[in-house]
Structure 1
Amino acid sequence: MQEGRTTTLARVAASAGVSVATVSKVLNGRSDVGPETRARVESLLAAHDYVARRAESPEAETTQHTVELVFHGPLTAYTTAILEGVVESGGERGIAVSVSVRPRRQPSPGALRPAAWARELADRGRRAVIDVVDDGQHGDLGALVRAGVPLVVIDPLSPPRKEVASVGTTNFSGGLAATQHLIELGHRRVGYIGCDPSAAFSQARTHGFRAACEAAGIEVPEAYVRLGTYEYAAGVAAGGVLLDLEVPPTGVFAATDEIAAGVLEAARRRGIRVPEDLSVVGFDDTAVAGVLSPPLTTVRQPLREMGRMALVTAMRLAAREQLESHHVELATELVVRASTAPPRTTA
């Protein structure tokens, strides 16, 4: 047992007035501990946020090839593509995938607190956890790390941490390519609709947009940049604000395909034609992009491959292999469809 874990057990034992062996019996579910003593020890374990690893338990043995895939909110086209990649990779390797949803910030009524949730996963014998788009603010990541459960985060909202493996994409290059595409078509009034400004991937896409404009000598008015959420409704609202400006942009780069879909709807409501009057570029290349009218020019993230890479990385960690890098970035690619064209006039 690691020194920190031994120290915690000793503190709990001292506080409860029992031996370390008694605390260990409680952790292992032994029946030869009185109910009052058991309740006192369990309360102190929870107070110390102690997470037991029970990799040797019979239950863990039966579920040793299961990985927990964690989402934070309802499934979208983006998360569904990642889910497919994880499940496909798991199927090829004989690994089961269990899916759960955790609150992003404020815990919902009845939701397990981070330490208890991590303890439950450890008790169930999960080999590893894959967490999708996590900001690390609610304590789940820390609880999993303390529990010693191998952890991989896909598209972390916060900068990658050394103790947590993560998989992402070249968001800066993607934002740069999307904006350069509009500029190369001849657009000089280029707007940007981004998402959570505190998210690392959102910051990278924003920096890519600004870098492309700066390199082309294009000044971006403050009113041309809108930041909000990832959803369709945010695209409708922010797109409407841009299109209602006295001098609106002729091209818009949206930080997600769902935002871009909202921009297309905002244009439709105003009788603005895409791409004749307005060009729109998205980011992700989810299933949504190909079915929009017109089909969306977008930056492709290899979402399925991200899921597959996360599964492989998680199992390498479970096997105690040394990773070459704690953060891996896969390449993005611009996919040109019918939502972009040269502007009718150059202003």
Structure 2
Amino acid sequence: MPRLKGRVTLATVAGTAGVSVATVSKVLNGRSDVSPATRARVQDILEKHGYVGRRPEPVERDTVELFYQGVLNAYSVEVIQGVVEAGQVSGVDVVLNAHPPHPPTSSSGRAARWIRELIANGRRAAIGITSELADADLAALARARLPLVVIDPANIPQPDVTSVGSTNFAGGMAATQHLLSLGHRRIAYVGGQPTSGCNQARMSGFRSAMEAVGAAVPPEYVWMRDFLYDDGLAGGARMLDLPDRPTAIFAGSDEVALGILEAARARGLRVPDDLSVVGFDDTEVARLASPPLTTVKQPLREMGAVAVRTALQLAAGEKVDSHHVELATTLIVRASAAPLHYTSIAAS
């Protein structure tokens, strides 16, 4: 079926399907008085031609769609809390969709169907956490004029996508410089997905700090999978089983750091006596860890709040100062890192 040219309206869909505009409207509104064959034909045309419809009349209370791709963890819970609290302050309801609307490789038809659902439910804007959206999603959102703000985008921030993050590069440098100041030179990095923008920035900060003092980073001292506990457990095991194992590890997230702590415990190594560890995020697990984690604090709740305020600005037709906002990170020193002369494996 050739794609319709120009703006797709109910009338053009009805003409293509050979039905009335009223029938198309019934299909869009989920009415039951349409035959299954007619419904299927109309829905097929709507999806193939990316019809997203018009925004309904404003409802009494605005709603924002918050969607998250991946497993809910300590990081995402902090960000979600910030979004919800900011929504309460702004008088906006937040609806959480903890599953991706569809795969990143989805078609324009599936993207349009997702956007139609958002519009039909009166969403003012959409906020994604660590999400990677396909071009079809972005095109459908643009056609519907539905603002999108992404928190910590999974891929490198695109110029036309508004995003909120933190100073990941500076945070990576601060974590590594702290370990260097303690006398460590054999420092490894265990982080997230290689394609993740925030992971690349943290690792770049790590490498920059190491290069600044002439400390080598052997290939086996870098492990990148994801930001979860099991990834830290696997990466920590790999590092600590090396013949020339590191004296310190910079973890790309607090959950990864917890996995490294467990890998060290399983090998009879003590933190920080035998191994220094620095995390990233400063979630609740960092404070509850044993020992409590030295970590780089991301202002996670504030990131969620900034995303809400930015999304509402865009929904109101206002201009924003920047399409990508980075909030400052801070090194929080606790008990998981110690000077090198206390590290018994330094001479190994």
The TM tier, using the shorter chain, reads 0.7 to 0.9
SS at match of 1:146: helix
Shift in Å, 1:138? 8.3
CA deviations over 1:253-274 (Å, ceiling 9, x no partner)? 0101100000000111111111
Shift in Å, 1:89? 1.1
Residues 166 and 328 in structure 1, CA contact (< 8 A), matched pair in contact too: yes
Residue aligning to 1:176: 173
RMSD, matched Cα: 2.7
10 and 267 in structure 1: CA distance in 2 versus 1, 3 angstrom threshold: same
Per mean C-alpha deviation after superposition, the further-off stretch among 303-312 and 67-76 is 67-76
Shift in Å, 1:72? 1.3
SS at match of 1:136: coil
Shift in Å, 1:17? 4.7
* 2:216 aligned with 1:215: no
1:206 to 203, 207, 231: 203
Residue aligning to 1:252: 249
CA deviations over 1:15-37 (Å, ceiling 9, x no partner)? 33568x66885687599x97576
Shift in Å, 1:104? 7.8
Residue aligning to 1:261: 258
* 2:96 aligned with 1:96: no
What residue identity is the alignment partner of 1:50? Y
Paired residues for 1:82-93 under 5 Å? 82-93=79-90
105 and 191 in structure 1: CA distance in 2 versus 1, 3 angstrom threshold: farther
1:61 to 59, 65, 72: 59
Could you tell me how far apart the structure 2 residues matched to 1:272 and 1:28 are? 62
Residues 232 and 260 in structure 2, CA contact (< 8 A), matched pair in contact too: yes
Residues 27 and 42 in structure 2, CA contact (< 8 A), matched pair in contact too: no
SS at match of 2:123: coil
Residues 55 and 144 in structure 2, CA contact (< 8 A), matched pair in contact too: no
Could you tell me how far apart the structure 2 residues matched to 1:121 and 1:105 are? 14
Residue aligning to 1:15: 16
Could you tell me how far apart the structure 2 residues matched to 1:138 and 1:258 are? 31
Residues 188 and 218 in structure 1, CA contact (< 8 A), matched pair in contact too: yes
Could you tell me how far apart the structure 1 residues matched to 2:151 and 2:332 are? 22
Per mean C-alpha deviation after superposition, the further-off stretch among 129-138 and 273-282 is 129-138
What residue identity is the alignment partner of 1:149? L
Residue aligning to 1:46: 47
Residue aligning to 2:73: 76
Residues 9 and 23 in structure 1, CA contact (< 8 A), matched pair in contact too: no
Per mean C-alpha deviation after superposition, the further-off stretch among 88-97 and 184-193 is 88-97
29 and 134 in structure 1: CA distance in 2 versus 1, 3 angstrom threshold: closer
SS at match of 2:340: coil
Shift in Å, 1:120? 0.8
Could you tell me how far apart the structure 2 residues matched to 1:236 and 1:40 are? 51
210 and 54 in structure 1: CA distance in 2 versus 1, 3 angstrom threshold: same
SS at match of 1:166: strand
TM-score (norm 2): 0.88
Shift in Å, 1:14? 5.1
Residues 105 and 137 in structure 1, CA contact (< 8 A), matched pair in contact too: no
Residues 155 and 201 in structure 1, CA contact (< 8 A), matched pair in contact too: yes
Residues 26 and 42 in structure 1, CA contact (< 8 A), matched pair in contact too: no
Could you tell me how far apart the structure 1 residues matched to 2:218 and 2:29 are? 64
96 and 6 in structure 1: CA distance in 2 versus 1, 3 angstrom threshold: same
335 and 71 in structure 1: CA distance in 2 versus 1, 3 angstrom threshold: same
Residues 26 and 41 in structure 1, CA contact (< 8 A), matched pair in contact too: no
TM-score (norm 1): 0.88
What residue identity is the alignment partner of 2:154? L
Shift in Å, 1:6? 2.4
Residue aligning to 2:295: 298
What residue identity is the alignment partner of 1:170? T
What residue identity is the alignment partner of 1:340? A
Residue aligning to 1:309: 306
Residues 232 and 255 in structure 2, CA contact (< 8 A), matched pair in contact too: yes
169 and 140 in structure 1: CA distance in 2 versus 1, 3 angstrom threshold: same
Residue aligning to 1:328: 325
Could you tell me how far apart the structure 1 residues matched to 2:245 and 2:30 are? 70
Identity %: 52
Residues 23 and 34 in structure 2, CA contact (< 8 A), matched pair in contact too: no
Residues 47 and 110 in structure 2, CA contact (< 8 A), matched pair in contact too: no
What residue identity is the alignment partner of 2:235? A
What residue identity is the alignment partner of 1:294? P
